[in-house]
Each structure stands twice: as structure tokens, then as C-alpha cells.
Copies of this chain bind each other. A is one copy, B any other.
Amino acid sequence: MVIDAVVILSGGMDSTTLLYDLKNRGLNLIAISFEYKQKHIKEIECAKMTCKKLNVEHKILNLDVLSDVAPSSLTRNEIDIPDGHYAEDSMKQTVVPNRNMVMISLAASFAMSKKINKLYYGAHAGDHIIYPDCRKEFIDKIKEILLISDWHKVEFEAPYFNINKADIVEIGKNLNVDYSLTWTCYNGRLKACGKCGSCNERLESFKIVGMVDPIEYEYN
């Protein structure tokens, strides 16, 4: 089977919706997820279940090295995940410096090695304020560099780049995305905390679209 594209799949709502979306367009896909000692490792379990459900090949790559070089509240127990709104300055504690470039580089390396022509990535407009490696200028430079960094060119696509999380839920609603198999909370507990910036943005998005979020929360 010829593979049309690699999709970076975190197991969160955005990349999961993207996977459904591309599958719905008839593309043959391989999904790649990264374990980097994130507290919210539950997202990887979600990614696995979604791939099984959609019959998509799934590669899980070990990136523990990222936590060693760049400690953040996402990976270190001694640094707390901040509560509050997703766009607040305190959320910058959740930045893992250069994380996306590292993940994209490795996923591109895989695509180049297998002569796959496209690489998809689920960054969206709500990410821009806090995460420098989700901004348009970053996406544009990545597009340029993946056309020259190997003899095999890889086209980089971030189709949700200009829309927000509520728009993504709207797309997912029409595609019957199973959001019970997605994980968004930055804390790694049994239920989503309902208080971190990531939970707040998720809950707001479901509210805007008029859907009930199927996962359980400690506080809602």
C-alpha cells in the first residue's frame, strides 16, 4: 500500500480530528506519536485507541531525551502545571523549548526514509499566543526547510493553522470523531483536572459548538 502522508498524532483533540479528516478524504496514513515523559501520557493511550478504531498504522517513538535537554512543567513533577486560561502568560511554563521542531524533524526523517511525500501537523490558531513553535512564521520556515533538508522533498501541511479549537470541534462533529478517545489535560491524573489552561480551552470549545464533552472531569 502506498502511504500518502504521515500525521503527527498527540492523542489530543486537534490531531485526532485531523486524522479523521484526512482519512475521510481517502488518504492512506501512518500516524506518529511521541513519548517524551509527558505527565499526560494518557494521550498516547488515546492515540493508540483512535488508530485501532480507524485502522491506521501507528508508530510510537521514544523521545525521553527531550525531557532531559528541556525540562518544563509538562514533564517534571517538581514544576506544577499552572491553572487558568490557555492564553495567560503563566501558561508559558508549559512550553517545552523547540519541542515541535524536534518532533517534526523526526517525523520528517521517517517520511523521507520511506519516500512519503506529505507530513501533517495539527497546530491551530489558539496555540499562537503561548507557543512560539505554533506561529505562522514557524510553520512557513518548516515548510521551506523540509523541501531542502533531504534529497526526498516532504510537503508540510498544517491545515488547521488559521482556525480555533471550537472550529475544530465543529469539523469533528460532522466527522463523528469519538472525543471520548482524546486527552487534553496537562495533568496526568485519572480524570481531567478541569482547571488547567488546556482543560479550560477544551471545555469552552465544546460549549461554543453546543456539544457535551464525553470525558470525565475532577472539576467542571
Contacts and interface: CB of A to CB of B under 8 A. Distances in A.
Contact of A61 (B69, B96, B107, B152): B69
A97 B70 contact: no
A101 B147 CA distance: 12
A109 B99 contact: yes
A163 to B, nearest CB: 22
Contacts of A97: 108-109, 112-113, 150, 152
B98 A105 contact: yes
Interface stretch (A7-15, A129-137, A209-217): A129-137
A178 to B, nearest CB: 28
Contacts of A138: 145, 148-149
Tier of interface size on chain A = 35 or more
A164 interface: no
15 contacts: A62-B64, A63-B65, A66-B109, A69-B109, A70-B113, A97-B112, A97-B113, A97-B150, A98-B108, A101-B149, A132-B148, A133-B150, A138-B149, A141-B144, A141-B149
